[in-house]
Every structure is written in C-alpha cells, then in structure tokens.
Chains A and B, each alone.
Chain A
Amino acid sequence: MKNEGKKKIWADYQKEIADDHFFYVRSCIRQSFFPGSEQFFLHLMRDVLGKDVYENPSHTTCTGIGYHSDVVLSQTIMTVVARHFALMKEAGYKNIAISCVTSFGIYTEILETWKHFPEELEKTREYLYKATGREFDIPENMAHTSDIIYKFRDEIAARAKNLLVNKETGEPLNIVEHIGCHYAKMFPKSGIGGAEFPRVLSGMAETWGGKVVDYPERRHCCGFGFRQYIVQANRGYSVSNTAKKFASMQPFKPDVVITNCPGCNMFMDRWQYTIKEMEGTTYGEDGESIPVLTYEELAGLVMGYNPWDLGLQYHMVQSEPLLKKMGIMYDIEDKFKTSDGRQMPIPENLINV
C-alpha cells in the first residue's frame, strides 16, 4: 500500500516522452546564436539513433518573444501555434519536439488554456480557418528537445568518448544546470521532475559522469525578462539577475553551466562578458569565466565530436578550460576555419583565450 501511494505521488513528476516520429520546431534564438546545437540534435536523432524527425520549412516563429514582451495578443499567438499544429497534421505527425523553452512554455500554456476554456479552442479553429483555410489536431505528445536528449541519455552514455570527469584528478566535474523558467515553473507537469525536482539536465549530467552543483540561487531566472532585455534602458534588470546567480554559484567552483533554454544560454554567456568589462568581475577559477553550453553541445562533447563542428567557438566565453579538464584533444588551428578548410579571420578579445 505504501509503495502504491508513493508511486501515485511521484507519477505527477514523471513525463511521457515519445520514442520516435517527431515534428521538429526550431527556436529563433537557438538557430541564430547556436545553429550547431540544433543541427547536432538532428544528426544525433536521425543518423545515430535512427529516429524519424521531420522539419517543415514553412514553420515560422511562434511569436513568443513578441507575446512575452506584450506586442502580440493571446488570440494571435494561439492561432500562430494552431498553424504549426496544422502543418504537423498535414505531414502526418502526432509528436512535437520543440527546440525553444519560450515556445515550449507557450505551447503548454495554450494547451492548458484550451482545456480550461474550450471556447478559446473553438475561436482559434475559426481564426485559423479564416486566415489560412487550415485545420489542426492537438498533438498527442509534446516534448522539449532537452526532454528527448534526457530520454536517450543512456544511449549517449553508451557511445561516450569523454566523460564529465577531470582527466587529471579523476574527480567528477562540477556542473551547474540552469533550467529555463518557462520549462516547468508555469505548468510543472510538463517537465521531467516538475518545478520542484527538475531532472531534465541533472539526469544528463550525472549519467555522463558529472556532479551537479546545488547553490542558493539555482532556480533563479537567468534575467532575460523579455522587455527587460530587448529595450536598452532596461538591461540593468537582466544583467543584475545574472550577476546574482553567478555570485551565488561561484563558491561551488562550477566547471561548466548547462542550460536547456537558448535565451538563458545566450544571456549567461554574454552577461559574463559584460560584467567583466563593467567591473572586472569573473566567476570561474583563476580569473577565468565559466563556459555556458547547450545540452546538445555537451552531448556532442561527451560523444567525442569536434568542438568546432558543434560551434563552441561562437560563445563569448570560450570553452578551452573545460575541454582541457575533460582531456579532449582539440585542434586550435581548425577553430576558425570554414567547412572546406579555408582560414577565417581570428576574432579578438574573446574570453578564456
């Protein structure tokens, strides 16, 4: 009986993630700032794990950044998302894989809204039909792409060439996992482990040999704040929140930060540069900054891919200190070369170089 009760309680924190046949929707921020991450996800799924992942070129922004900076109405975003569901239906897919955490939060919010306000669903059907002549079904399974990597974390571990372990000392690396607020804070049931025990990134980090760092501001927002970043006059909000997080994690000596939200990744990378420029503060060891990686980049490193094919050189905070700790042999000459081996200019004033 006791076990039954426990199972029932923990069922709320678990999430069913489809195994195959995904309709993939990209993220505005991830594809602009970390295009290698989305491409690695597709390569892993299709070429390594043999999964069917379909992408439709007509998929557009979900308008989420506009919605959360309040220039897009709720009925507008619901109809834009309904159009994506229509594209999915037309292509014969029932499982959606979402690259962006803002989008993921929006999709979960919309599905919840339609559950509680069925008249909104009907209105959306009418709007979409009127605007495009399309009809849609609600997805059977909805996952963020970090959920999917979490699901296949053991398959990735089985192919690991580099563990999250300091090669010199044999000690596990200290991993800070930062989960985007819109992943599960709004609708805890939509995330693995809910809002209280988010497991999506810590599960990957531990499976691949790392040690997850707990620190006081672990669940604090990265500081994006939508309008608080988009408008220059407000950026003090954004950088202050990031500074609060980094100051809190610093005593625990993180070797790397991993994120599942593309926005968080960009901010935690870029604000480290800004804070260093503003006041000379750095949060890593020996005056270095802490590399901030996407979970796809981390999976790629673990599986032994060339860091420069994953796009690690296109962060402000360079990842060489992490690569050295993991004992990854990298070719510095290859870092800023084109795919056909042509030398590109070397960017100046990057961090950790």
Chain B
Amino acid sequence: MEDVFELLQKDVRFEEGLKACMNCGVCTAICPAAEFYDYDPRKIVDIVQRKDNDELIRLLKSETIWYCGECLSCKTRCPRGNTPGYIIMALRTLSQKLGYFTESEKGRQQFAIKRTVGENIFKYGYCVAAYAVNPELHPEQGPIWEYMLENTDDIFERLGGQVNGVGTGPLRKIPQDALDELKKIFDVTGGTELFEQIEKHSERKAAEMGLQFNKEGIDNDYFTEVYTANNGKHTTHEKQED
C-alpha cells in the first residue's frame, strides 16, 4: 500500500502549506466553505499532521477535501504560516492520481470539470470563453447571457473584440501553433496523464454505478449525474436535519 504522507511531501504546496498546526481554528473561522458546508479545515490539517496512513486514505476518498473554494483566505490568517488551502490542493491532486476521487459525490465532479474547463484549454486556448458558456448549464447567467451569445459578433465588434479573429484583441482565435505548444506542455509535465487518469477512473465508476458513459462530450448520463447530483448531506444545516 502506498505511503500517502510520503507522496504528499513530494508536492511543494504540501511542503509550503504544512509547518506545524496548533489547532487554533482561525482557518475555520475565516473560511467561506466552513460557513456553509459541514467543513473544518482545522480538522483536515490535524489529520494530515498525524500521518496515520489509513486515516489519510479515508481522507482521499472523502467528501470533505472537495468543499474548499481555494480562496486561500486561510493563508493570510494562520499564525503559524500554514496554508490549509495548499494542503487541500495537494490532497486533491493525489486523490485523483490514485483514483480515490470517484469514491465521493463531490470528488466525482472532477470528471465534469475535466470535460468542460479542462478540454476548453486544448480546444480554444482559454479556460473560459464566451461561446463555451452554455446558458443551459448556467441559468444564473440570466437573459443577458443568452442575448450576448445570440449577438456576439455585433456586441464584440462595438466593444473592440475579435471573436475568433486573427491578431490581438478579446476572444481572438488562439493560433494553432500556440495550442500545439500548450498540448506539448501538458504532455511533458504530466498534465495529459492526469486527464487520462480522471477519464479512466470515471469510466470505471460509471460502469460500477450502471450509468451510460461516452468517451467524449457532456451528452452522457455519467456527466449529468456528477454535474448535478447533490445528496443533501453536505451542509451543517442538512446534517442537523438528518
């Protein structure tokens, strides 16, 4: 069995994020995630610094490591210079590398993020681009968003945009050679391998859950499930009602 603590120590964010926690709880007090989720970054740091391998594996399979919003407000406030947010980032990366992320509802969502934001990077050279924000997946964008998508060229033309145009400007087309370089960077640095791991473990989990899975795109039952599923047991309030 893998030594989780040893693997975590290979991540510079973990080394930078964990000095010595005295359990004061300031991180939890300042944390926007702890405000609404049943989440306590102090407890996570405490578990991690105990170095108990079984407990660490449970953590990698848990819901709790996926509650943080990575605002990193905790970094400003920790009196001992720890950064619980960085510890979380290292835990999340390892959970995906080891395939444990599919064991929690929130962890399984990594598949939806990979298929949207992750693939936008290769397709367009942007994490987010106007034409890639589908109003059906984003009702909170309101009527102005549908309007902007229906009138993109006219709107961007007046505001100085360059949608899919050659040259500089907002939403210009990223040249193919730049996209090729991005892809090569992902290949060389292990980024492509991480994408493949997310796909492989998600496909396995879809089969286990009896859900239809497609090799590409978002039009499949597993995507819909991980993108929308909420078991109602994530917030303190919901837990109390249970």
Chain A positions within 8 Å of B, measured between CB atoms, are 26, 28-29, 31-33, 35-36, 38-39, 55-61, 63-66, 68-76, 78-80, 83, 105, 113, 116-117, 120, 127-128, 130-132, 181-182, 185-186, 188, 195, 219-221, 223-228, 230-237, 239-241, 244, 270-271, 273-274, 308-311, 314-316, 337-339, 342, 344-345, 347-350
Residues of the B chain whose Cβ atoms lie less than 8 Å from the Cβ of A186: 72, 75-76
Q: What are 29 A-B contacts with C-beta separation under 8 Å?
A: A31-B170, A32-B126, A32-B130, A32-B133, A33-B130, A57-B167, A66-B127, A72-B118, A72-B121, A72-B191, A79-B188, A117-B15, A130-B188, A185-B71, A188-B76, A195-B76, A225-B71, A231-B112, A232-B228, A233-B230, A235-B140, A237-B36, A237-B67, A241-B69, A314-B159, A344-B154, A345-B150, A347-B144, A350-B144
Q: Are A69 and B117 in contact (CB under 8 A)?
A: yes
| Stretch of B50-58, B171-179, B208-216 with 4 or more beta carbons under 8 angstroms from chain A | B171-179
Give residues 127-146 of B contacting A (CB, 8 Å): 127-130, 133, 137, 140-144
Q: How far is the CB of A256 from chain B (nearest CB, A)?
A: 18
- In angstroms, Cα B127 to Cα A338, docked, is 28
What 10 A-B pairs have minimum CB-CB distances, sorted nearest first? A225-B69, A39-B160, A31-B170, A76-B191, A35-B170, A65-B127, A36-B159, A347-B147, A131-B184, A32-B130
Q: Are A221 and B160 in contact (CB under 8 A)?
A: no
Residues of the A chain whose Cβ atoms lie less than 8 Å from the Cβ of B178: 57-60
Q: How far is the CB of B41 from chain A (nearest CB, A)?
A: 14
Q: How far is the CB of A274 from chain B (nearest CB, A)?
A: 4
Q: How many residues of B contact A (CB 8 A)?
A: 92
In the complex, besides A57-B167, A71-B113, A105-B72, 8 extra interface pairs with C-beta distance below 8 angstroms are A39-B169, A61-B125, A73-B189, A74-B89, A132-B181, A221-B32, A221-B71, A345-B150
- In angstroms, Cα B185 to Cα A69, docked, is 19
- In angstroms, Cα B166 to Cα A342, docked, is 25
Residues of the A chain whose Cβ atoms lie less than 8 Å from the Cβ of B168: 55-57
Interface string of B170-208 (1 = CB under 8 A from A): 111011011101101111111100110010000000000
Q: Are B189 and A127 in contact (CB under 8 A)?
A: yes
Q: How far is the CB of B142 from chain A (nearest CB, A)?
A: 4
- Please tell me if B28 contacts chain A, counting CB pairs below 8 Å: no
Residues of the A chain whose Cβ atoms lie less than 8 Å from the Cβ of B190: 73, 75-76
- Please tell me if B151 contacts chain A, counting CB pairs below 8 Å: yes
Q: Are B140 and A236 in contact (CB under 8 A)?
A: no
Give residues 210-228 of B contacting A (CB, 8 Å): 226-228
B225's closest neighbor in chain A, by CB?
A233
- Please tell me if B42 contacts chain A, counting CB pairs below 8 Å: no
Chain B positions within 8 Å of A, measured between CB atoms, are 11-13, 15-16, 32-33, 35-37, 66-73, 75-76, 89, 92-93, 96, 105-106, 109-110, 112-114, 116-118, 120-121, 125-130, 133, 137, 140-144, 147-148, 150-151, 154-161, 166-172, 174-175, 177-179, 181-182, 184-191, 194-195, 198, 226-230, 235
Q: Are A131 and B159 in contact (CB under 8 A)?
A: no
Q: Are B121 and A66 in contact (CB under 8 A)?
A: yes
Q: Are A181 and B126 in contact (CB under 8 A)?
A: no
- In angstroms, Cα B121 to Cα A76, docked, is 12
B101's closest neighbor in chain A, by CB?
A70
- In angstroms, Cα B141 to Cα A186, docked, is 29
Residues of the A chain whose Cβ atoms lie less than 8 Å from the Cβ of B166: 57
Q: Are A71 and B170 in contact (CB under 8 A)?
A: no
Q: Are A339 and B189 in contact (CB under 8 A)?
A: no
- In angstroms, Cα B158 to Cα A29, docked, is 18
Q: Are A64 and B143 in contact (CB under 8 A)?
A: no
Given contacts A221-B69, A232-B137, contact A127 B185 (CB under 8 A): yes
Given contacts A31-B171, A339-B158, contact A76 B35 (CB under 8 A): no
Q: Which of A35, A270, A309 contacts B156 (CB 8 A)?
A: A35
Given contacts A57-B167, A80-B182, A221-B71, contact A227 B109 (CB under 8 A): yes
A346's closest neighbor in chain B, by CB?
B147
Q: Are B118 and A237 in contact (CB under 8 A)?
A: no
Q: Which of A36, A80, A348 contacts B160 (CB 8 A)?
A: A36
- In angstroms, Cα B75 to Cα A195, docked, is 11
Residues of the A chain whose Cβ atoms lie less than 8 Å from the Cβ of B114: 71
Residues of the A chain whose Cβ atoms lie less than 8 Å from the Cβ of B105: 233
Residues of the A chain whose Cβ atoms lie less than 8 Å from the Cβ of B181: 83, 131-132
Q: How far is the CB of B183 from chain A (nearest CB, A)?
A: 9
Q: Are B170 and A26 in contact (CB under 8 A)?
A: yes
